[in-house]
Structure 1
Amino acid sequence: MTLKPLTLAWRNLMRHKSFTFINLLGLSIGITCCLAITIFIRYETSFDTYHQKASRTYRVVENFKSAEQVEHWNTTAYPLAEALRNDFKEIPLVTQAAGPLHRLFKIEDEDGNVARYEDHALMVDPFYLQVFDFTWLAGNPETALTQPNSVVLTESIALKYFGTAMHEKQSVLGKHILLENKDELTVTGLIADAPHNTGLPYSVLIPYEFFKKNNPYFANNWSGNYQGTTFVTLEKGQSVQDLEQRIATWKKKYLKPEDDRRITYALQPITEAHNDVVYGAGPGSYTMPLKFIYAATGIAFFVLLIACVNFINLSTAQAANRAKEVGIRKVMGSSRFGLVAQFLRENFLLLAFTLVVSLAFTQMALGYINQTLAIIDLHLAMDTQTVLTALVIGAVVMALACFYPALVMSSYKPIEALKSKFSGGAEQGITFRRALIVFQFAIVQIFIIGTIVVAAQMKYFKTKDLGFTTESVVITYLHNREHDETLRDQWLANSAIADVSFASSSPLRSYHARYGTSFRLPHQLEEEGQEAEMKGADVRYLSFYNLTLLAGRNFTTVEDSLKEFIVNEKLIAGLHWTPDQAIGQHLTINEGEGTIVGVVKDFHNESLQDDITPCLLINWKPFLGVANIKIAKNQNMEATLAFIEKTWKARSPDGIYYYDFLDKTLARKYSLQHMVFQGFTAFALLAISIGCLGLYGLLSFMALRKTKEVGIRKVLGASVAQIVGLFSKEFITLLLVAFVIAAPLAAYFMNEWLHDFAYRISLSWWMFALGIGLTVIIMLLTIAYKSIKSALANPVEALRNE
């Protein structure tokens, strides 16, 4: 008895297969998009929220006031943590971390050597384990990091090095692992792999005391930030503002007077760090700005909304086909409530299938997103909450999209329905459907225009002259520094290698070799110094990267101490010098004093998202740890890379060879923008697809209303083109109305997005013209498919049916 209404609903759905399929596909696309974005938003706003003390834990951040601006740092001086711990007894926990750092680990056993570089070696003090939560598989968390030469491994890292010995977790304890080929560490603990949504990733934990012992300058320097992060955990209800005010007056106890005037500290909740653009995410992580989260939320809402609009259009258009059915049911005694219930059962059954399909689509979409955005190590996955979210979305869709069509279809009067006079008295409904089409067209055009703008900006990133060579440049780290020149000569002996330069990095700022300093004139106070980037460079660096020398000379040798500088235009502009005036001038930096011997034309040492910063090159040998290798044109890249690796390993047999292409490094700088571009493209395609389905729905309704008119026009000699024009005229008008709405909205949103880039394109009329042009083409193709079919129908049949 209870299955009979559902059986009837199923039969009705199967009777109108094309209508059912289109509705199923449209809703599935909309719900899939909404689910995928919801999972993305939940993931990107969940960083570090899983810690039990997360709501009471804060990251100490630093504001540094230079001569020209205030700089914001998410790292702090290493001595800060211990000083806070000693002087602020009311703070329950203070902890710190150094890194994550890029380090070489190796074991030696009867099966040979296993050696790898790990990017996430984190140096932490014992309090770190009390502030943040770890899942311990073996070892004692209270004692694991008390000895300087101990190490705690994550499960995946232990599996890399100890393999089959991992069948029992405890068996890894007491084993030894070699750090940087010199320090033997004893495994004292085994923990589960770090969650992907952590702002300070780790694969290996090493005691901070080990770092302090091996890096005394960094560990005791109050003036510099060297990738160290300080955290405090407060009591419930403890005032953050009061503590910040006390720290503001307390810091002069440790800082030099000039640093005390320039440096202030603030406390930032760790749950906000990942989405904060002022201080940025922690070292080794990436920042997901809140405005992207808000934009994604808006996109999810609008895509779901146009899917519902599409459903309403299709359902109300389909109502015309079912008018006689409604009339017969009413004559047979069916009440309006009973008809609404029947139509709702059909929609509920359709929606149930839609949710199942949407979950399957979502699983596939997440796999594609994770693979596409592997550059930021994204890990999106479905869980129980995803299913609950799908049910909530289903309920919303039922409320938004199902009740109105059911009410429309149940509202026909029996006599008019049996006479097929379903078009009469429906002008308000037609106006409503036109408004929905305008809404769909507007959203589609915003997405299309947005995609065009983002694509143009990405093309600008790829094609703008950066002021240096980027093609066919391979970068690798030097392990055995004693044989640098010999290694260079061996590489250059191969005709496939055009040039080799030793430096600290390429002209583009590198994460692994980023050196900052402060420069000033010798007579100026330290607090008058200005921030600059410092790069190590040898005598071949300028010619290797085609940097233009404006005045002075190149380096003539590599020095064992700091003596000479080559600076960029940006640096001397801050000192109000011309290139010729700068030559011979003395500068004082944090590392010492030297003479300017050359000035180079500005090059983009930052990505195009940021402005060029003051930069100085030094020929100081300790800073030349990176080999820049240029591959000659028309060479076998695979064979050349193999030769480079073989030669490197012959000189550094105990090292781990690693290389990267400069153009790939550059591409990673724009990973977030690339994600925005792919997102816009995907959502534009989705909006277009759903919009076309909605347009098809209204065309179906119009074709039924105009059946008699089309038949008469054909009898009177109207051509197929004229019939197509009959259908197109109204939609061209609706499209123009939608464009008037969409253009200013798209201009506003895209100007806001472009505003974040120091180097950006300008919005141009052709972007909007192309946007509406593409929309017109898509619309005409959709109209042509349906209207030509109506135009080719036999007019006699049309008039007979009327």
Structure 2
Amino acid sequence: MQPPRKALAFLRWFCREDYLEEIEGDLVELFENRHTNLSPSQANRKFTWDVIRSFRLRNIKKIDLSHLVHPIMFQHYVKLGGRQLLRNKAFSGINIFGLSMGIACCLTLLIFVGYESSFDNFHPYAERSYRVVQHTQYPDQTLYWNTTAYPLAEALREDIPELDLVTQAAGPFQRFFTLEKEGMDDYKFESKYVLFVDRFYSEAFDLTWIAGDRKSAFQHPNSIVLTESIAQKCFGQQVPSQSILGKTIMLAGKDPMQVTGIIKDVPGNSNLRYEMLVPYEFFKQNNPYPASNWSGNYQGTTFVVVSDQHRPEEIESSISVWKKKYLTKEDDSRISYKLQPLAEIHTESLYGSSPGSYTMPGNMLQTAKYVGIFILLIAIGNFVNLVTAKSVIRAKEVGIRKTIGSTGFDLFKQFALENSLLVAISVLLALAFSVFLIGEANSAFSIINLQLTFHWTDVGTIAFLGGITSLLGTAYPAIVLSSFKPLQIIKNDLPTSGTRGFSVRKAVTVFQFAIVQLFIIATIIAAVQMDWFRHKSLGFTTDAVVMLPVPQSDKIETFKNLLTNNPEINDVAIGSGPPMAVNGFQLGTRFRTSDMPDTDGFEAEMKIGDRNYLDFYGLELISGRNFTGNKMEFDEFIVNERLLKSLGWTPEDAVGRKLTINEGEATVIGVVKDFHNNSLQHDISPCIILNWSYFQDQAFVKISNINPQVLESLEQSWKTSFTKSVYKYEFVDDSIAREYFVETLSFKGFTLFSIIAVIIGSLGLIGLMTFITTQRTKEVGIRKVLGATVAELVLFFSKEFTVLIGIAFLLALPFAYFLMQYWLEDFAYRIEMSWWMFLVGGILTLIIAGLSSGIQATKAALANPIKSIKTE
């Protein structure tokens, strides 16, 4: 009885020659002994298992790889590859450019995704750190807050021992500072990122101290810790950090703050934005009401670090029972606290962005990653198409080399090395493209402090991408080239469209253009949505409206009088903000009628505006009247239509009725037509406009001409009125446009990568048409001799790609529809996708493909038919 042949052959293949005779003899002897006691199948299985067990490092033959590519032959192949590259400069340039752009785009997107996914992961307790968020349940809705009541942190610290650390922050807030300098006027500056933190903050989060002591920096309420950039801005770059300690900076012109520390700037990939850190005790002393109020959220954030022995679910369960100790019965029934992992703060849009920061939805990051992979696959497909198209031209070379003795493997090695040379050059060029793209992205999105950087670790990523590209992009073309038979070449009988190789090429082209059409359709739909955003009526006017801060309420009339005397100023209004909430600022309240219980009511936005506010913005009054004068205490409301729907009132019925809000009771004197008080991603919400002396923080100025002279005169009037503050302004239109940052980023991404996909895909189509026209050179000549015109020949060739584009369109259609339907779901106000958007995408792709392939088809059609017929 013989042992299994395959197992025996495997043993003889891997086993060392000096061990083989002994090992094989022992295994065969064991097999024969077992065969007398076991069934043949059992003996065979045990013999196979013995062979597998013998596959050990000491028994394996030494592998000699020198025969694969000898150094001399390697140099020879490199020379041949270099000559091919220089001989076909246009072909090589197109191939290298397309592949390098694909790799660069993929790498840049992966760097972007990695950066946005890395927010706050550098903190010492990042894996155990959580932000406390609040769910507030009302009869009509659930509100999700990323801020919590200020007393929460201290209560958690005292009562929940399962928490290793509890810290809190207030802000960041915008504050005005002055700094005395010898022999000079006081230096004035303003910071939007002043964060008030307790003494545990520096323990929970990573602060890199340049000067000062972490343990003592926040002990005194009037201390202040500066970031490195702010310290240099205030005291100069040449001043040593240690010498800045003890210096005094005046907060709001009245509170002396002593510098107790200098720390490194907060990294760009952090949701915890600050330029200055001030002890929370200072905030608590100056804001006693919000600091002790359990019912309101006033831009305070609580963070906890959970001990290793406990799960966050256990902490949430404990808090749900514990909170009734501090909350009123009504608040306890509707408020619940949850722990949100620090790593999810940046990518979870449910709770909105952190104060002073922004969110980047996780689904958008996933989409960006897939886009990068698809772009790379298009580039690889393009590379394969171009190289295999060129392979037909080198068929005669293959035939001659095979005739004189080259094996298929020798040819495979040569062509694989030649193609790898193209990949290597593409990778080096992709590095340069990546650095450029990263710089452009940082500049384009400086508004969010984007800080993408190219690290040496990314070299490993690009090397990996290059290796994958080399593997996928060189193996198939090398196999095609090395598989040509000499007899086929002599007879000019190379594989045609009916072969498997050409089917693979067609499949690659269909895949490329399916992705191209997906990008083009997505860009068209995103463009229509963004255009609809730009042109949709908001229910108020914003043309040439400049928004300025009002730091001193007692100087408002002085400022308005100066503006009234300026002929270039058309109108002025004062309020808490423009009709649409911008820059993350929105005042909230709850409203109810006097006969409703205190626990009932509805959420509303509270907006402050003077008697000119409605006319200034063109808000349409559909019932009642406007404010008649400015008052210290409010006693009148103007409401929008959406608020009336909550109460079941008509505009006529509402006028004269009483409403109660958190801040007090007043009479409804007017109803305005609904306007978009939220950005267009969100629905219109109930809104109450008050003419009140509080929160009149913004001045709105309508100018006749936007030019430097008018803006300069506006600045002069402001500085004359508010002498102790820093001047700044912005156009309301620009503030509204920033509300669509993420959507604009998506649209720009769709557009940019559509262009890149079209370019790379078109290059791939040129490669396919090169292959087709080369294959049918003699056929073209015969057709021309028989009377075919150039137009007929171009049309004949166009059928080759028209069918492929049609198939690609059908494949792309459902994916594009579901992708964009998913994207549009985030908007409360959105367009309806129409058939023409998809059809235009298909037609555009067809036109682009026609232009790309028409060059090659026309070139073949214009060739001399006699030369074409003589082609071998």
Question: Residue 694 of structure 2: SS of its match in structure 1?
Answer: helix
Distance 1:149 1:672 in 2: 39
The amino acid of 1:756's aligned partner reads D
Matched ranges for 1:404-423 at <5 A: 404-423=476-495
Alpha carbons of structure 1 residues 562 and 425: separation in structure 2 relative to 1, 3 Å: closer
Question: Residue 416 of structure 1: SS of its match in structure 2?
Answer: helix
**Alignment match of 1:717 (pick from 766, 780, 787):** 787
> Once the two structures are superposed, what CA deviation does each residue of 1:670-706 show, in whole Å capped at 9, x if it has no partner?
1111111110000100110011011000000001111
The amino acid of 1:658's aligned partner reads K
- After superposing the two structures, state which structure 1 stretch, 51-60 or 311-320, moved more: 311-320
Equivalent residue for 2:532? 460
Question: Residue 565 of structure 1: SS of its match in structure 2?
Answer: strand
Distance 1:424 1:252 in 2: 79
Equivalent residue for 1:132? 205
2:673 is the alignment partner of 1:601: yes
Equivalent residue for 2:467? 395
Q: What is the CA distance between 1:283 and its match in structure 2?
A: 0.8
> Once the two structures are superposed, what CA deviation does each residue of 1:216-237 show, in whole Å capped at 9, x if it has no partner?
1111111111111000001124
Relative to the length of structure 1, the TM-score reads 0.98
**Residues 496, 502 of structure 2: 8 Å contact kept:** no
Matched ranges for 1:54-453 at <5 A: 54-110=126-182, 111-166=184-239, 168-423=240-495, 427-453=499-525
Distance 1:425 1:367 in 2: 45
2:562 is the alignment partner of 1:490: yes
Distance 1:205 1:577 in 2: 48
Aligned positions, number: 799
> Once the two structures are superposed, what CA deviation does each residue of 1:125-159 show, in whole Å capped at 9, x if it has no partner?
01000000011100001110111000000000001
**Residues 107, 177 of structure 1: 8 Å contact kept:** yes
Distance 1:242 1:164 in 2: 49
- After superposing the two structures, state which structure 1 stretch, 505-514 or 252-261, moved more: 505-514
Equivalent residue for 1:4? 76
Q: What is the CA distance between 1:589 and its match in structure 2?
A: 1.2
Q: What is the CA distance between 1:377 and its match in structure 2?
A: 2.2
Question: Residue 623 of structure 1: SS of its match in structure 2?
Answer: coil
Distance 1:525 1:356 in 2: 71
Distance 2:455 2:177 in 1: 35
**Residues 162, 310 of structure 2: 8 Å contact kept:** no
Relative to the length of structure 2, the TM-score reads 0.90
> Once the two structures are superposed, what CA deviation does each residue of 1:256-281 show, in whole Å capped at 9, x if it has no partner?
11111110000011111100011133
The amino acid of 1:54's aligned partner reads A
Q: What is the CA distance between 1:750 and its match in structure 2?
A: 0.6
Distance 2:765 2:459 in 1: 31
**Residues 575, 695 of structure 2: 8 Å contact kept:** yes
2:752 is the alignment partner of 1:679: no
Distance 1:705 1:354 in 2: 28
Alpha carbons of structure 1 residues 537 and 712: separation in structure 2 relative to 1, 3 Å: same
The amino acid of 1:162's aligned partner reads F
Q: What is the CA distance between 1:27 and its match in structure 2?
A: 0.7
Question: Residue 515 of structure 2: SS of its match in structure 1?
Answer: helix
Distance 1:629 1:546 in 2: 14
Distance 1:102 1:636 in 2: 27
**Alignment match of 2:636 (pick from 551, 557, 564):** 564
Question: Residue 655 of structure 1: SS of its match in structure 2?
Answer: coil
Distance 1:717 1:172 in 2: 90
The amino acid of 2:617's aligned partner reads Y
Q: CA RMSD in A?
A: 1.3
Question: Residue 233 of structure 1: SS of its match in structure 2?
Answer: strand
The amino acid of 1:271's aligned partner reads A
Distance 2:261 2:695 in 1: 36
Q: What is the CA distance between 1:585 and its match in structure 2?
A: 1.5
**Residues 323, 420 of structure 1: 8 Å contact kept:** no
Question: Residue 599 of structure 2: SS of its match in structure 1?
Answer: helix
Distance 2:371 2:497 in 1: 36
The amino acid of 1:203's aligned partner reads E
Question: Residue 371 of structure 1: SS of its match in structure 2?
Answer: helix
- After superposing the two structures, state which structure 1 stretch, 367-376 or 209-218, moved more: 367-376
Distance 2:846 2:817 in 1: 19
> Once the two structures are superposed, what CA deviation does each residue of 1:393-436 show, in whole Å capped at 9, x if it has no partner?
11111222211111111111122224432235962111221121
**Residues 582, 739 of structure 2: 8 Å contact kept:** no
**Alignment match of 1:755 (pick from 803, 822, 825):** 825
> Once the two structures are superposed, what CA deviation does each residue of 1:515-540 show, in whole Å capped at 9, x if it has no partner?
11111112322321211110111100
**Residues 555, 722 of structure 2: 8 Å contact kept:** no
Equivalent residue for 1:614? 686
Equivalent residue for 2:124? 52
Equivalent residue for 2:835? 765
Q: What is the CA distance between 1:597 and its match in structure 2?
A: 1.0
Equivalent residue for 1:707? 777
Q: What is the CA distance between 1:593 and its match in structure 2?
A: 1.3
Question: Residue 358 of structure 2: SS of its match in structure 1?
Answer: coil
Distance 2:550 2:528 in 1: 38
Distance 2:349 2:567 in 1: 46
**Residues 324, 420 of structure 1: 8 Å contact kept:** no
Distance 1:121 1:475 in 2: 22
The amino acid of 2:807's aligned partner reads V
Q: What is the CA distance between 1:165 and its match in structure 2?
A: 5.0
Distance 1:255 1:170 in 2: 46
Equivalent residue for 2:767? 697
**Alignment match of 1:662 (pick from 732, 754, 760):** 732
The amino acid of 1:772's aligned partner reads G
Equivalent residue for 1:786? 856
Question: Residue 161 of structure 2: SS of its match in structure 1?
Answer: coil
Distance 2:847 2:136 in 1: 54
Distance 1:620 1:510 in 2: 20
Distance 1:281 1:667 in 2: 17
**Residues 575, 697 of structure 2: 8 Å contact kept:** yes
The amino acid of 1:382's aligned partner reads F
Distance 1:5 1:556 in 2: 89
Distance 1:729 1:164 in 2: 68
Sequence identity (%): 48
Q: What is the CA distance between 1:512 and its match in structure 2?
A: 5.9
Question: Residue 621 of structure 1: SS of its match in structure 2?
Answer: coil
2:683 is the alignment partner of 1:642: no
The amino acid of 2:677's aligned partner reads N
> Once the two structures are superposed, what CA deviation does each residue of 1:646-686 show, in whole Å capped at 9, x if it has no partner?
01111111111111100000110011111111100001001
Equivalent residue for 2:61? none
Unaligned runs of 5+ in 1: none
**Residues 375, 671 of structure 1: 8 Å contact kept:** no
**Residues 75, 230 of structure 1: 8 Å contact kept:** yes
2:618 is the alignment partner of 1:546: yes
Distance 2:435 2:237 in 1: 33
**Residues 168, 201 of structure 2: 8 Å contact kept:** yes
Structure 1 or 2, whichever has the larger Rg, is 2
Distance 1:653 1:279 in 2: 39
Distance 2:707 2:496 in 1: 73
Alpha carbons of structure 1 residues 164 and 290: separation in structure 2 relative to 1, 3 Å: closer
Question: Residue 531 of structure 2: SS of its match in structure 1?
Answer: helix
Distance 2:242 2:747 in 1: 48
Q: What is the CA distance between 1:314 and its match in structure 2?
A: 1.0
